[in-house]
Amino acid sequence: MPNVNFPTANAQKVVSIWPTDQALCDEGSYYTACSPTPLTTIAGTANQLVLDSATTGQLNPYLLITNGSSPSNTNARTIFPKYLKMKCGIGGTWTASTDYCYTIRVDDITSKYTSGGSLITPQNTNTGSSLGSSAIIHAGALVTLAMDPVTGRLLYNGMIEGAIPVAKNVWTFTFGDNAMDTNILGASALKSITIPLGSFGIAPGWNMQLDLFGTANTGTPSWEFEMGYAERVSGL
């Protein structure tokens, strides 16, 4: 039906440049990455204390995503995280932690990954597409270079739980969703927690790291994880 007010209101029709997840999948731009063996966790770094968030926390993130595309390639794609789901492992220990917190940092340090953890293989969710991912993903007890003091950015930080995490608790980070956190506090009961955060893009040559740490933590936590993300040429 035509817009009868267009001639008089001088209105313009605007179409979003960001398609739905189904459209992203159709064009071969939507990927998932997860723990390689179901029901098997990947251990993080032992004794990750909240006081280390500005020092050791940067050197031992749990998740590191590097956009391996060259920044000089004008057709290189930016990585846009959509969600990250983490299940606290039975095999991990959560000793003495009175809360659990997170930070998400980005920088453009070359060869940021040093050692440790597991290399994760992303999967294109369109079974008819052979388009590979630009993401290089490591998870676990990682050793990395510290965030670049000039280009580095602390994008998000906050508390996930206000008590010692319980095995099988599920944490779901959503990106591009600014709704209220759900069930962030609570005691020892099994729970599913949603942490909604704003959008961000990992440009070619940039890194994103997820740091996890707890006050007085003395154990070695572990997680299973699953994430979904899109890759597109910026602005298209």
| H and E: helices and strands count for the chain | 3, 15
E-state strands within the chain: 30-34, 42-43, 63-67, 77-88, 100-107, 113-115, 118-120, 123-124, 135-139, 143-144, 153-161, 170-175, 192-197, 207-213, 222-233
Please state the rounded mean pLDDT for residues 39-52. 75
- Angle CA(94)–CA(90)–CA(226) in degrees, nearest 5? 100
- Say whether pLDDT at 123 is over 70: yes
Give the pLDDT confidence score for residue 33 in this predicted structure.
98
Look up residue 74 and give its amino acid: T
Half-sphere exposure of 55 (CA within 13 A, CB side): 4
Give the pLDDT confidence score for residue 171 in this predicted structure.
94
Give the pLDDT confidence score for residue 204 in this predicted structure.
96
Per the model's pLDDT, the better-predicted residue between 15 and 134 turns out to be: 134
Is 5 within the bounds of a domain? no
Please state the rounded mean pLDDT for residues 98-109. 89
Please state the rounded mean pLDDT for residues 131-158. 92
Is 2 within the bounds of a domain? no
Please state the rounded mean pLDDT for residues 207-226. 87
Is 184 within the bounds of a domain? yes
Parent domain of 226: 21-233
Give the pLDDT confidence score for residue 3 in this predicted structure.
55
Q: Which pTM does this prediction carry?
A: 0.87
Phi-psi bin for 201: left (phi > 0), alpha (psi -120 to 50), beta?
beta
Is 126 within the bounds of a domain? yes
Q: Are strands 170-175 and 192-197 parallel, antiparallel or unpaired?
A: parallel
DSSP state of 22: H
Is 66 within the bounds of a domain? yes
Per the model's pLDDT, the better-predicted residue between 71 and 45 turns out to be: 71
CA gap 49, 116 in Å, rounded: 19
Band the pLDDT of 203: cuts 50, 70, 90.
very high
Is 213 within the bounds of a domain? yes
Residues 6+ apart with CB under 8 A from 172: 83, 84, 85, 86, 192, 193, 194, 195
Give the pLDDT confidence score for residue 183 in this predicted structure.
62
CA gap 163, 97 in Å, rounded: 7
Is 45 within the bounds of a domain? yes
Give the pLDDT confidence score for residue 20 in this predicted structure.
84
Sheet holding 118-120, edge to edge: 118-120, 135-139, 63-67, 207-213, 100-107, 153-161
Count of structural domains, the chain:
1
- Is 215 within 8 Å of 97 (Cβ atoms)? yes
Is 110 within the bounds of a domain? yes
Band the pLDDT of 227: cuts 50, 70, 90.
very high
- Say whether pLDDT at 50 is over 60: no
Band the pLDDT of 8: cuts 50, 70, 90.
low
- Per the listing, tokens 């956009």 go with 67
- Say whether pLDDT at 9 is over 90: no
